[in-house]
Structure 1
Amino acid sequence: MSAFESIDLFLVNASTACVTPLAIFIQIQGCLICLILAFGWACAAYVRNREIKEMKNEMKSGNSLAFLCHNINELEHSKQVHLPRVSVVMPLKGFGEHNLHNWRTQITSLYGGPVEFLFVLESTEDPAYHAVTRLLKDFQDEVDAKVIIAGYSTTCSQKIHNQLIGAEKMHKDSKYILFLDDDVRLHPGTIGALTAEMEKNPEPYDVQIFIQTGYPLDLPSGSLGSYCIYEYHMPCSMGFATGGRTFFLWGGCMMMHADDFRNDNYGVVSGLRDGGYSDDMTLAAIAGAHKKLITSPPVAVFPHPLASDLNFSRYWNYLRKQTFVLESYVSKVNWIMNRALFSVHCYLSWGFVAPYVMAVIHVAAALRMCFSGQVEALNIGGLCLVGGLAMCTVIELLSMWNLTRIEVHLCNMLSPEAPPLSLTTYNWCLVFVAMLVDNFLYTVSAFRSHFSMSINWSGIRYYLKNGKIYKIDRGKNIGPKYTDLSGKNLYGKRGSPPNVSFISSLAEMIDQWRQPKKYDL
């Protein structure tokens, strides 16, 4: 038997095996997963598009500031002077290509009430220290902002440690505290919109909004790794596009009541401080345990440009951090929920990929049969399944494209002063490849996280035991020099910028960001 005959025999047998009842179930299940994702994105697009229509109607009615507030009467001075004080806490780590612009959008918010901005770093050795101090020097007479050195964490992740130190240092009269990641690009009216939602349910206390959150809109840089991250976030985004109550929480944007941190209500401080690894998962678990309300307003979607040099290795590190989150927990119930999420996500991820593997087998077998003149041996049932999967995939990609298109439009309307975002640079063939790669690797990453019980996060290695951090290792040789998504440099020299070219480029970027420019997505 020749090599080609052996291949033909293998493909025919494999194609036949892929039309057994179990295989057919797996392929139909894959089609259903595609359609469920498409439906979820369609619902999310409806919520976002409804907000766009409301803004357009307000503009037609003469409210040119609809991107700040739907009711223009709320912008009167008599209303603005009574707005509550907000403390914005931004834990920083490293300095990347988009950070300066992101920080600038945060401190130049058009919120009409009193607001302070607290940039919290672990030490002056962090390259972000020099960058942010230079930026704040330019705005020292315009905004209430300061840099806080938090020191090194010993009982929780460095990010949580920085957040808690920021909460300790916030103004005594602040009513709300807003935690922002340094890769969040705010809209001018974001703080005002979040505050307005928090003020809607002041009494009774049990129906108050506990946390308000949002979600990023990834802008891939062109690499497969960046598209994998975009694809990873897209299924999660439908949970944040509810226009109201949600069970999901993103640590990049969280507005809470300041008194919850002053008084350690519901154990928010102790839960984070005592072994906390993930801020959003910990707070979401606390909210669930106490039946507290988490909401996500439709305007809380933020452009998130990914690093131009984001390679596949950094994507893998990011995925490892995301799956490692499921190994941390604050209670037995939280552990059970995380195990359930772990199992379901792994099952659905490989349940999504498996039909495409079978489809490749069906197509390869059909091509070999056609080339060898054995058309009568074609597996018609298998080809029908391939056709159904292809149709469902097209529907899924169209729904993903539509949601992305609407969110890009919404971001452009919410930030009319910024260079417009565009879909023209999105490569949808890479999006499809990223869907397969990300879903296949998710399960691999999840199992590795489960058995390793340690993770490297921005040059710091954390070890978990019983769902809590119990050991922290630091050192420049522990991890990569750059972070995963933003490509931020993690290390610098004590007391001075890393080098002269860094200062020169920093000054040049500050000058450029003062002027409108075209950003490549």
Structure 2
Amino acid sequence: MPLKGFGEHNLHNWKSQITSLYGGPIEFLFVVESTEDPAYHAVSQLITEFKGDVDARVIVAGLSTTCSQKIHNQLVGVENMHKDSKYVLFLDDDVRFHPGSIGVLTTEMEKNPEIFIQTGYPLDLPSGTLGSYCIYEYHMPCSMGFATGGKTFFLWGGCMMMHADDFRHDNYGLVSGLRDGGYSDDMTLAAIAGAHKRLITSPPVAVFPHPIASDLTFSRYWNYLRKQTFVLESYISTVNWLMNRALFLTHFYLSWGFVAPYFMAMVHVAAALQIYIKGYSYGETTCTSGGLLLAIWLAICTFTELLSMWNLTRIEVQLCNILSPEAPKLSLDYYNWSMIFVAMLVDNFLYPISAFWSHFSQTINWSGIRYNL
């Protein structure tokens, strides 16, 4: 687990990760940049608390010079794993695991040795701020992996299980691709999987609660969004560059294509109100009536989309409650659907702006570290 800083949910998340019901041999490696990181002392205390019950230790990776700090921490963790380890599981520090998750992921890897990466998806638990709802809305497309029968091209860096030997032998240029200039772990690995036609899967129970910090300000959300678009500027091959450019253009078109009808609908509604107030006849309002009809269809489509998101979230909440029966029950009460609608507009409006900013600036500050391309 690559760590950076210490937030309000980290301790709970770490406990859920190390208190696994997996019956086989397992070790937990927490990797920090330095002993000055607040996470170092917090996780060291946690390991002391569970001493004798779990095989866990903290590793100090040092400062990265060739790739992102997260990737550097991951690779140092791999270098220090047990020589007999068969699989390696990368987890973010904001992932809340279920007791049987490691066993499920391992079983799937054993059943199908052709699996290159096994991933999961987050169930965001908004804290009430607009930024937290924007992150929830941004992550929702990841759940499309549940509709693909286990096979997916969506890869979430918060949970990735892989074969340890792929790292030991640098298969497919895995280690070198990450180490030499890698910025995003999941985008880089997805590109390698695509280039070598390797299989990415997700079991149907690999959905994990992802509580969002209550102090998440809008500026922190903007920095998060900048990070998501900044990854499109990094690549390991020409094919990867072309994929990123295609994703950049597609996301740009779809995002503002989603927002534009709402601005148009506002114009039509405002015009209709103006016409009504001034008392124009029906014959003079034909165009406006047509615009209002489109606005009504837009409202119906919006309701359908929100209903679909509500239903998917409901299913994921129920699934998480079943998978973690002893944990506090999750509820749909976490979600304010009016805020989610606003977040949909804000997120899709800002994404192209963030993407352009990342493209022309070629730099970002993430977790106190300045990255330049």
- One fold, TM greater than 0.5? yes
Aligned residue in 2 for 1:454: 363
Query: Does 1:124 pair with 2:35?
Result: yes
- 1:194 corresponds to which residue? 105
User: 1:373: how far off?
Assistant: 1.6
Q: Taking every aligned residue pair, what percent have the same amino acid on both sides?
A: 80
2:26 corresponds to: 115
Aligned residue for 1:146? 57
Which runs of 5 or more residues in structure 2 are unaligned? none
Structure 2 residue matching 1:294: 3-state secondary structure? strand
Q: Provide the residue aligned with 1:99 in structure 2.
A: 10
* Per-residue deviation, residues 167-197 of structure 1 (Å, max 9, x unmatched): 0000000000000000010000100000000
Segment of structure 1 superposing worse, 375-384 or 146-155: 375-384
For the residues of structure 2 that align with 1:233 and 1:180, how far apart are their CA atoms?
Answer: 17
Q: Which secondary structure state, in structure 2, belongs to the residue aligned with residue 456 of structure 1? A: strand
2:123 maps to 217
CA distance in 1: counterparts of 2:147 and 2:30, whole angstroms: 29
Task: Name the count of aligned residue pairs.
Answer: 370
Q: 2:333 — aligned with what?
A: 424
2:187 & 2:47 partners in 1: Cα distance? 32
Q: Which amino acid aligns with 1:332?
A: T
1:185 to 69, 82, 96: 96
**Contact 1:241–1:296 (CA under 8 A) maintained in structure 2:** no
Q: Distance in 1 between matches of 2:187 and 2:146?
A: 15
Question: Residue type of the partner of 1:346?
Answer: F
State how far apart, in whole Å, the 1-side matches of 2:315 and 2:14 are. Answer: 25
Counterpart-to-counterpart distance in 2, 1:400 and 1:91: 31
Superposed counterparts of 1:299-448, under 5 Å: 299-376=205-282, 377-378=284-285, 379-448=288-357
With normalisation by structure 1, the TM-score equals 0.70
1:91 is paired with a residue of what secondary structure?
Answer: coil
Distance 1:409 1:241 in 2: 17
Higher relative contact order (CA 8 A, sep 6+): 1
- TM-superposition CA deviations, 1:357-409 (whole Å, max 9, x none): 00000001111111122253331110110111111111110000000000000
Determine if contact 1:301/1:407 at 8 Å carries over to the other structure. yes
Q: Deviations over 1:436-459 (max 9, x none)?
A: 010000000000000011111111
Contact in 2 for aligned 1:329/1:335 (Cα 8 Å): yes
1:246 and 1:446, CA in 2 relative to 1: closer, same or farther beyond 3 A? same
| Range 235-244 or range 99-108, more displaced | 235-244
Relative to 1, partners in 2 of residues 1:375 and 1:438: Cα closer, same or farther, differing over 3 Å? farther
Structure 1 position 240, deviation (Å): 5.1
Q: Does structure 2 retain, via aligned residues, the 8 Å contact 1:214–1:240? A: no
Q: Cα offset for 1:140?
A: 0.6
In the TM superposition, structure 1's runs of 4+ consecutive aligned residues that sit over 4 Å from their partners are: none
Q: Which amino acid aligns with 1:196?
A: T
- How high is the TM-score relative to the length of structure 2? 0.98
* Cα distance, 1:239 vs structure 2: 3.2
- Supply the distance in 1 between the matched residues of 2:359 and 2:21 (Cα, whole angstroms): 44
**RMSD of aligned alpha carbons:** 0.9
Q: 2:249 and 2:49 mapped to 1: Cα distance?
A: 50
Q: Which residue of 1 aligns with 2:144?
A: 238
Note the C-alpha offset of 1:298.
0.7
Q: Does 1:229 find its partner at 2:135? A: yes
Cα offset, 1:241, TM superposition: 4.8
Question: Does the alignment pair 1:274 with 2:191?
Answer: no
The answer to whether residue 68 in structure 2 is matched with residue 157 in structure 1 is yes
- Structure 1 pair 375/360, CA: closer, same or farther in 2 (3 Å)? farther
The one-letter amino acid paired with 1:384 is: L
8 Å CA contact retained: 1:210, 1:294: yes
Q: Summarize deviations over 1:254-281 as a string: whole Å, max 9, x none.
A: 0000001111111110000001000001
Cα deviations by residue, 1:293-351 (Å, 9 ceiling, x for unpaired): 00011111000010111111111000000001111111001101110010001000000
| 5+ residue gaps, structure 1 | 1-89, 203-207, 465-521
How far did 1:242 drift? 3.0
